[in-house]
Structure formats: C-alpha cells, structure tokens
A and B are shown apart, each in its own frame.
Chain A
Amino acid sequence: MEAVQPQLPKRHSRWVRVTHWIITISFFLLTFTGFMILMVHPRLYWGEVGNDLTPAIFELPISRNYKHGGWTSSTAFFNNENSPVTAGRTYDIFNQNGWARSLHFLSAWFLVLTGLVYFIFGFTSGHFRKNLFPGKDSFSVSSIKTDVKSHISLQFPKPSGGPTYGSLQKLTYNLVVFFLLPLTIMTGFTMSPAITAAFPFLLKIFFGAQSARTIHFFSSVSLVLFVLLHLTMVGMTGFKKHIKAMTIGS
C-alpha cells in the first residue's frame, strides 16, 4: 500500500521573515525614542490643548521635569475670572528631543514603509487569508475553549515552526497588525501640524492632538506588552526553533 505523502509543515515566507526583523528593530528604536520624548513632557491630556498651565489627566514620574515648579507668576490674557493665563518657564528642563525626535521619525519611516510592503504581500500572497484570518475551524467556540484551557494549564501544542497558529495567537496577531499598529501610526500622524492641515479629519476622529498623543501612548504601551507576551510565548515553546524559523526559515 502506498504511504500517504506527509504534508510538509508550513514555513515562514522570506518576505515575512525580512519584514518581521525590520519591524522589530524599528519598533525597538521607536519605543526607546518614544520614552525619551515622553520624558521631556511626561503629562498626558485629552482634547486639542494641554500644557503645564492646564490640568493633565495624569503625570508620570519619569524625569526631572515631573511636576517641576519653575514658572514665573502667571498673567491673565483677558480681564475675566476664568481667563487663560501665561507664565514664563525658569526651570532648566531635561530635553533630548533633538536626536530623539529625528531618530523616532527615521525609525517610523522604516516601520511605515516596511509595514506597507507587509500589507501588500500579506493580502496578495494569501498569507492573511490562509494564516491570520478566521478559518473554518479556528474561531469556533470549542476551539477557543480548548485553546484557552491549554494556555491556562501552560500546556501548549508543539510549535509548527511556521505560520500555523492557534486561535488565541491568531486573535492577538490580528489585533496587533490590523488595530494597534495602524492606530499608533494614525495617532502619530495626528500630532503633526503639516499632516493635520492636509487631513483635518484626523483631529476629529481622535478628538484633538492631545487625545491623539494620549491614545498613542496607550497603544504603544499595549504593543510593548504584546512584545513581552510574544517573547514569553516564544521562550516557553522552544526559543531556538522559533528563532530559526523566523530567520533561516526552517
């Protein structure tokens, strides 16, 4: 009797491996420079406006700029009780934004252009349809139940070494690829005066430049948490095998 030809396990395509690592390096640099930029003004707001003379939603104790009191006494702009005010800064703030901002945007170019390549290939090659989008069996209640159970008991199925993903894994990757990364990029654009002049709807959908900045912060934190989770899962299910699969492809 002729043996049934064993199905070859799926491997990561070369374009997936290349874009994965370019995006990894960009994301690392964006996180590092993003933190440097946040240190300069560690206050977050909602709406269009937010500065040291207006109330913040919260303030992070991450640099000497945290709650610094170096301001001249304030002067009202108008002769009424609730008039907005101005005050001069007398405090020498921490500020490394010269290089941090330029490096942030340089890394963002790599992320955005590589991301575009990834999206084009993802759709045209069928990678998204075959490996990421809900398939016949992957998003059924029972398969999610099984997957949740195996995650809780930390009994993971053997890694395939390729794009054969579990239900929760697919769900997470979809969230990152189609929601968190685009949201972070779009809210980044919304902080740009040149881009919002051309596309004013950005200020509408994110409720203003400061809201966009706050959303940018939370979506970036979510992405960092994803990376930590991703690394944990990679470590728990065979670090060497995964690294080999994502670099040389076997």
Chain B
Amino acid sequence: MDHNNKASRILTRREALITSLGVIGGILSLPGCKRPAPPTYGNILRMGDDFTYSAQRSLLPELSLAKEYNLGDISSFPATGTINPGDSSKPGFNENYSKALDTNFDQWRMPVEGSVAKPRSFSLHELQSFPVRNQITKHTCEEGWTAIAQWHGVQLSRILQAVGIKPSARFVNFQTYDGWTDSIDMIDAFHPQTILAYGMNGKNLPIPHGAPVRLRVEKQIGYKSFKYIEKIIITDEFVDTGDSGWAWYVGM
C-alpha cells in the first residue's frame, strides 16, 4: 500500500518533470520552426538573451501596442551617447554627416537596399510625404531612466512596402552616421509603432536626438531606437556584427 503510493508519486513527479521540460523545449524550439533563429554568439549571456527573445516572441502577442500618453505627459529628455556626429572633436564624428548638416539635410538621402525588388533612396521631403504617424511614447533607457516624448514619422512598414521587400527577407539592418550597424526582426519592423521619426515634440528632430531621422522601436529598450540613420539594408540572414557585449534583442 505504502509502496504503491510512493511509486505513483514518483511517476507523477517524473511526468511533471517531463511536462515542464517539454514546455521549456517548446519555448526554445517553436519559434525556430516558423521564424529565423535568433543570433547566437556561443556565449552563455547571449544564449540567455536568445532564450528571452524566443520566450517573448512565443508568449507575448506580436501586435500589442506600447502605451501612448497625452501631450501633458511629455517630459524632459536627456540626449545620451553620440549627441552630434558633425562635431569633429568628439568620437562618432562623420564627415558626410557634417556636410549634410551644413546644408540643413537638403541633400541628405537615405538608401534602402538589399533583399528588395526596387532599391531606392529617400530624401527627407520624400519621407515626409508619406502619411505621418504621431505617437507619444515612453523611452526606456537600459541605464534605468525613462522619458516621454511625441514623435512624428513614417511607419517603417510603409517604406518596406515602397521598396518591395522580398518574401525571403528576415532582418532590417540600420547603418548610422556615428558608426553603428544593428538590426531588428520583421515583427518589430512591421509593428505599427515602429517609425522612422523626423520630428520630436512638434519640431524637426533635434541633432542630439538623432537628426535628421531616427528609428523608434517602442517595445524594446532605447538603444534599439537608433539615431542618425544613414542607410537601411534588408537581409535574408542575420548579419552578425560581432559580440558588442550588449543583447541584440532587448524587450526588457
């Protein structure tokens, strides 16, 4: 009697263990079936980041919107990292940016190329001729601070549709004037709140905040909202730019 009880309890535990392993396995492998595998750098921290990416992509709804605020909620907003790539005395200086800045970005053009049917470049005026999306959102910096601002821009999805991305396309890579290359996946790229912002708080985007155009990815931490966008490249494969020491996906 006692022995039987014990046996059945062990079985229940084993079943429970197998079930929970199955759940973890499901989280790890499910997205792999239908989506590109997230990047791995063969390092335990990056593997943890990938696990978070898989878990968030599997468990959270793709189209949920980040909270939008009222005009009265707009707050003071520090500018950090590169605050002017046209300043030759600072790291992140870029001569092309400096020239574009001299003409108030009149000659500025942003190429969109890669895995697309119609590669082309956009002037600031061309970007502004698309329907504008205004959103008042919270910027969450990895350092621990937050700030709310209103952003004005064009949904990235409209640009991707304008250049006709190929069905094989999986990542949108951004090259910035201050020397970054980084990417987002198509779920973030096609999210309605993912915009190329050319305006902030009712004015042109200020230089410290990424003029003339920055990205806003509202469901990730601030450092994925790249400033000073120079070029967009769509790729079928993940472009590994080496381990920067920072998580590629930062939903938290």
Contact = CB atoms under 8 A, between A and B. Distances in A.
Contacts of B250: 101
B220 A194 contact: yes
Contact of B78 (A53, A103, A121): A53
A149 to B, nearest CB: 40
Contacts of B244: 98
A113 B21 CA distance: 11
B48 to A, nearest CB: 3
Contacts of A203: 67
B46 A102 contact: yes
B76 A51 contact: yes
A106 interface: yes
Given A54-B75, A89-B83, A198-B64, A37 B144 contact: yes
B30 interface: no
Using C-beta atoms within 8 Å of the partner chain, give the interface range for chain B.
Answer: 35 or more
B78 A87 contact: yes
B49 A113 contact: no
Contacts of B24: 113
A84 interface: yes
Nearest to B252: A192
Contacts of B189: none
Given A53-B77, A191-B252, A109 B148 contact: no
Interface stretch (B99-107, B124-132, B135-143): B135-143
A49 B148 contact: yes
Contacts of A41: 141, 143-145
Interface string A68-104: 0001101101100000111111100101011101110
A193 interface: yes
B20 A117 contact: yes
18 contacts: A48-B69, A51-B75, A72-B208, A77-B77, A77-B200, A78-B202, A85-B76, A88-B80, A89-B78, A99-B245, A105-B48, A105-B49, A109-B52, A113-B24, A189-B252, A192-B251, A196-B66, A197-B65
Given A51-B75, A77-B203, 12 more contacts: A38-B144, A78-B202, A85-B76, A86-B77, A89-B83, A98-B244, A98-B245, A101-B250, A103-B48, A194-B251, A195-B60, A196-B66
